[in-house]
Structure 1
Amino acid sequence: MPDRNGRPAGAGVVTMVLRVRVSLPDRPGVLGQVARAFGVLGADIHQVTVLERQAGRAVDDFTLSWPAGLAAGELRDRLSVVPGVRVEGAWPTREVPGSSPDYDLLGQVATDGARAFRTLVDAAPGLVSAEWALAVDSRTGDVVHGSWQAPDIAEMPDLTPLRPSAFSEGALHLLSLPVAAAGLHLVVARTDGPAFHQVELDRAARLVEIVSLLAAPPAGRTVA
């Protein structure tokens, strides 16, 4: 007997985890309509994060399991039938539903403070649904450590302002976060999704502060 999506009951379905950013009217019932639209597509919602609510609209990030093979364009088309709803981005994420990557990061740092900043760089992309991260020497601009998907860059251009910031260079969206305790900047990037939201910037900046407090004093400017 087929399921609600026309597939044979019990058939294995390959899924991927997506982050979907949706702008919608901030009024009762609209969120339920969006959730139903996801359900019709066969998507399972794992988490909803409210990024902002102002001027009668809300911006929400949905983390969901999405049937592999269905294009993001189809998602946009289906959600567009809900009046006033706009899909601002849909992109793959390495988030594991039900996990707590923030706590995992802080636990690792507390256990091995000497490797705190290397651990931070490796974990940063998964914390904000990004693709890669680099630690850049804030004095010279030299790249001292990159996450496993980071491009092979020996030196970054001047993308390191003195305070936490989010900005875009064409399709490349960046977070730049000073790590004063180590003389570094953490640069986090994504290209598949939308620009980083202020909520994502604030979350990343707070994690950098906590990691810096937990870290063992670094030797010079070298990532341990």
Structure 2
Amino acid sequence: MAFLLRVALPDVPGSLGALATALGGAGADIEAIEIIEHRADGVVVDDVLLDLPPRVMPDALVTACHELPGVEVQWISRYTAGANLSMDLEAVERFTNEATRAVEAMVDLLPSTFRTDWAMAVEFIEGRVAVRAATPSSPDLVPAAERWMQIADAQPLDPTSEWDSTVLAAAPGRDRFDRTFVVVVGRHGGPEFLTSEVARLGHMVSLAASVQLG
């Protein structure tokens, strides 16, 4: 059973090895580790994709992590976006190779790249907000979607009454045909989007818009 663990730990030699040893001792099989943020206070935030046997409860991982000095578990949940973490460069390579539908291909890749539950791109068509692209698990549009079209840069979004338990982030784009759109991603229940994640999302949307040919 795949789980995603987000953990903050001291950015010093040996910390990651100690974490891996603790998780392995708790029964987890680590599939991938990705550093997602280096903080100014000497802390690094990692996403750890791991496989957990049915007999092992996620709480055991949390306990194992918190026994290490300076380690804090920020989030742990089932991971349903796929069996492996998709790195940013891999995602960029894939949607660049599909230039006639780069934005649509990027939307498809965002959940596995950013560990979100869904992603969608919205745009104005004849004065109304419409979905340009969406992953299969994306929810229906909400009235707040019209406000999303006004954002000028990548940013977290305020929760909506319809999705009050969903953490949202968005980034605007404009393709070479002068079509504007906004990409929105959501996580049910968290974790909150880090500043570095929001910046990455903005860069990826801009790149997809720049290579879009259709």
1:68 CA drift (Å): 4.0
Q: Which runs of 5+ in 1 are unaligned?
A: 1-14, 218-224
TM-score (norm 2): 0.79
2:153 aligns with: 163
1:173 aligns with: 167
CA distance 1:209–1:144, shift in 2 (3 Å): closer
Q: Are residue 137 (structure 1) and residue 123 (structure 2) matched? A: yes
The Cα offsets for residues 105-160 of structure 1, whole Å up to 9 and x where unpaired, read as: 5334434x332222222222121000111211156433333211001226525234
Identity, in percent, stands at 26
Judge which range, 67-76 or 31-40, deviates more. Answer: 67-76
1:125 aligns with: 111
Which has the larger Rg?
1
SS at match of 1:89: strand
Judge which range, 132-141 or 205-214, deviates more. Answer: 132-141
Judge which range, 27-36 or 201-210, deviates more. Answer: 27-36
1 CA distance for matches of 2:8 and 2:91? 30
2 CA distance for matches of 1:97 and 1:150? 21
The AA in structure 2 aligned to 1:103 is: E
SS at match of 2:39: strand
**Alignment partner of 2:194 out of 179, 197, 200:** 197
The AA in structure 2 aligned to 1:107 is: R
1:164 CA drift (Å): 0.8
1 CA distance for matches of 2:154 and 2:139? 22
The answer (yes or no) to whether the contact 1:168–1:195 under 8 Å persists in 2 is no
TM-score (norm 1): 0.76
The answer (yes or no) to whether the contact 1:110–1:215 under 8 Å persists in 2 is no
The answer (yes or no) to whether the contact 2:120–2:185 under 8 Å persists in 1 is yes
2 CA distance for matches of 1:192 and 1:70? 23
Q: Are residue 44 (structure 1) and residue 29 (structure 2) matched? A: yes
1:76 CA drift (Å): 1.4
CA distance 1:194–1:212, shift in 2 (3 Å): same
2 CA distance for matches of 1:146 and 1:125? 11
The answer (yes or no) to whether the contact 2:156–2:170 under 8 Å persists in 1 is yes
CA distance 1:59–1:103, shift in 2 (3 Å): closer
1:103 aligns with: 90
| CA RMSD after TM alignment | 2.6
1:83 CA drift (Å): 2.5
The answer (yes or no) to whether the contact 1:50–1:60 under 8 Å persists in 2 is yes
The answer (yes or no) to whether the contact 2:91–2:106 under 8 Å persists in 1 is no
The answer (yes or no) to whether the contact 1:101–1:126 under 8 Å persists in 2 is no
The Cα offsets for residues 73-114 of structure 1, whole Å up to 9 and x where unpaired, read as: 332122221232210001315244376574355334434x33
CA distance 1:39–1:118, shift in 2 (3 Å): same
The AA in structure 1 aligned to 2:81 is: R
1:195 CA drift (Å): 0.8
SS at match of 2:52: strand
2 CA distance for matches of 1:48 and 1:110? 24
1 CA distance for matches of 2:88 and 2:80? 13
The answer (yes or no) to whether the contact 1:52–1:60 under 8 Å persists in 2 is no
SS at match of 1:61: strand
